[in-house]
């Protein structure tokens, strides 16, 4: 079974061919995500040239604020038309770090959650500085295929995520982050995924990160859960098949 990076931004890399080659050599499945109209199309272009790369499409909270409702609806329709090429909706969510204009963010985010429900695919959620607001908002949708990406909220909120039956994604900076190490210790393996958030969050605090490094997240989970690397890889592979519907 393969290792899976469920969240990366390889479209931002200048050495795209090398990044894909390195991932292949490490037996890593890349999932790359869109953040706006331009990058959504770049993801589709990458998928056309590299069918083994999985893609998610969406609009990042900051960019939701930069477009009209009509432009947002048009992009959602574009994503719907490309539903057979994607495995999830991302990167979408709420962000109070970049803007306190939360209501328009919520309207856009809600449209993406409803789209994910319609297509029966996961939504990978960005919630920086808006963690509790995002959880409160998501609980209204009664949807289980929710993955909290790089979640930095407190541990009462993390327990709510677990109790809701959602999942958490562990980034590669877990090797030096006590916060993500503790998430691993309390979250059932059945509700964990791994990511790089490439080109960010390098395990050695370098730049750029790349999907091949996602194995470091698997290794840390194996260490903390006292399991073999193969057991962790296989269980997360089962999580992927169950929630993303891809083998």
Looking at the DSSP bridge assignments, the partners of residue 146 are 123
Strands 54-57, 88-93: pairing kind: parallel
Over residues 166-215, the pLDDT tens digits come to 999 999 999 999 999 999 999 999 999 999 999 999 999 999 999 999 99
- Give the whole-angstrom CA distance, residue 186 versus residue 120: 27
**Number of domains the chain contains:** 1
246: pLDDT strictly greater than 80:
no
Band of the pLDDT at 216, cuts 50, 70, 90?
Answer: very high
Band of the pLDDT at 234, cuts 50, 70, 90?
Answer: very high
Looking at the DSSP bridge assignments, the partners of residue 125 are 92, 148
The number of angstroms, rounded, from the C-alpha of 103 to the middle of its chain's C-alpha atoms is: 23
Tokens matching residue 135: 């959880």
- For residues 91 and 33, the answer to whether their CB atoms sit within 8 Å is yes
Distances (CA, A) of 6 to 109, 133, 168, 212, 224: 19, 23, 11, 12, 21
Neighbours of 18 (CB within 10 A): 12
pLDDT of residue 12: 66
- For residues 25 and 17, the answer to whether their CB atoms sit within 8 Å is no
Over residues 74-117, the pLDDT tens digits come to 999 999 999 999 999 999 999 999 999 999 999 999 999 999 99
Domain coverage including residue 86 = 3-243
| Site of tokens 């947002």 | 72
The CATH number for 198's domain is: 3.20.20.140
- Give the whole-angstrom CA distance, residue 114 versus residue 3: 29
- For residues 244 and 90, the answer to whether their CB atoms sit within 8 Å is no
pLDDT of residue 245: 85
């Amino acid at each position: 079974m393969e290792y899976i990076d469920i969240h990366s931004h390889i479209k931002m890399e200048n050495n795209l061919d090398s990044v894909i080659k390195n991932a292949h050599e490490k037996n890593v499945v890349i999932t790359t995500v869109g953040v706006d109209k331009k990058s959504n199309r770049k993801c589709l272009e990458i998928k056309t040239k590299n069918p083994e790369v999985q893609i998610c499409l969406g609009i990042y909270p900051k960019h939701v604020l930069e477009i009209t409702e009509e432009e947002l609806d048009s992009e959602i329709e574009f994503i719907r038309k490309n539903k057979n090429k994607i495995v999830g909706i991302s990167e979408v969510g709420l962000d109070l770090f970049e803007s306190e204009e939360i209501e328009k963010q919520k309207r856009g985010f809600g449209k993406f959650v409803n789209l994910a429900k319609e297509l029966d695919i996961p939504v990978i959620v960005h919630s920086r500085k808006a963690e509790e607001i995002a959880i409160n908002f998501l609980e209204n949708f009664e949807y289980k295929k929710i993955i909290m990406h790089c979640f930095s909220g407190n541990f009462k909120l993390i327990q709510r995520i677990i109790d809701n039956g959602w999942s958490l994604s562990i980034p590669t900076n877990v090797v030096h982050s006590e916060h993500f190490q503790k998430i691993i210790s309390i979250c059932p393996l059945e509700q964990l995924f791994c990511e790089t958030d490439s080109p960010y969050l390098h395990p050695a605090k370098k730049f750029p990160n790349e999907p091949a490094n996602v194995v470091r997240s698997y290794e840390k989970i194996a260490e903390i859960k006292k399991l073999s690397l193969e057991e962790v890889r296989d269980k997360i592979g089962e999580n992927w098949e169950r929630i993303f519907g891809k083998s």
